[in-house]
């Protein structure tokens, strides 16, 4: 297989700014440990303070004051498409761009393996989401019950 050149963008949100830069550096160090992968370019951008006026109204309630955002651009070269897919599934970049080659020839068996890996991951996320939704609904139900009890006791 031809060499694969790919660009990943990893974004992070948090505080203090030094911590999010450090977290990105550690993530890139972990990526560098991958066998069969060469990092040919990496750039971590300066953290920027998130301002309330940049966010939608519903996001303003979630975002705490003093949060910073930054991102890293990491360009890799490998000959292993499964490794690229593993990075996508395990490190969750916000953007992936395959720079080279412009065309792929992939065996049915290899494509099936990649699709199965993706399907397994999606099922795990679906299961987690369903459990969290159930727990959320139970908590809302309890809150509503307690609210009703409080209102009745105030009468």
Mind listing the pLDDT tens digit for each residue in 121-137? 999 999 999 999 999 99
Helix orientation angle between 17-32 and 81-91, rounded to the nearest 10 degrees: 150
For residues 21 and 83, membership in a common domain is answered with yes
For residues 62 and 12, membership in a common domain is answered with yes
For residues 28 and 54, membership in a common domain is answered with yes
124: left (phi over 0), alpha (psi -120 to 50) or beta: alpha
Residue 45: both structure tokens together:
């951008």
For residues 74 and 33, membership in a common domain is answered with yes
For residues 100 and 110, membership in a common domain is answered with no
Question: Residue 146: which domain range?
Answer: 106-155
For residues 13 and 60, membership in a common domain is answered with yes
For residues 63 and 110, membership in a common domain is answered with no
For residues 60 and 129, membership in a common domain is answered with no
For residues 66 and 77, membership in a common domain is answered with yes
* Nearest residue to 50 (alpha-carbon basis) of 31, 67, 26: 67
| Count of structural domains within the chain | 2
Residues 6+ apart with CB under 8 A from 42: 28, 72, 73, 74, 75
Q: What confidence tens digit (pLDDT) does each residue in 49-71 have? A: 987 655 555 455 555 568 999 99
Of 65, 82, 104, which closes a domain?
104
pLDDT of residue 64: 55
For residues 135 and 155, membership in a common domain is answered with yes
pLDDT of residue 2: 82
How large is the average pLDDT for residues 96-124?
92
pLDDT of residue 57: 56
Residue 7: both structure tokens together:
């660009």
For residues 96 and 24, membership in a common domain is answered with yes
For residues 60 and 17, membership in a common domain is answered with yes
């Amino acid at each position: 297989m031809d060499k694969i050149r790919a660009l990943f963008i990893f974004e992070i949100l948090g505080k203090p700014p030094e911590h999010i830069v450090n977290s990105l550096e550690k993530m890139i160090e972990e990526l560098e440990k991958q066998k069969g992968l060469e990092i040919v370019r990496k750039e971590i951008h300066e953290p920027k303070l998130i301002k309330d006026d940049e966010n939608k109204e519903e996001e303003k309630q979630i975002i705490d004051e003093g949060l910073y955002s930054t991102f890293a651009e990491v360009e890799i070269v490998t000959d292993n498409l499964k490794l690229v897919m593993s990075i996508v599934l395990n490190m969750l970049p916000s953007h992936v761009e395959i720079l080279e080659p412009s065309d792929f020839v992939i065996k049915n068996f290899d494509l099936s393996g990649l699709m199965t890996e993706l399907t397994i991951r999606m099922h795990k996320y679906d299961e987690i989401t369903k459990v969290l939704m159930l727990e959320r609904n139970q908590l809302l139900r309890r809150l509503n019950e307690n609210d009703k009890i409080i209102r009745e006791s105030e009468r």
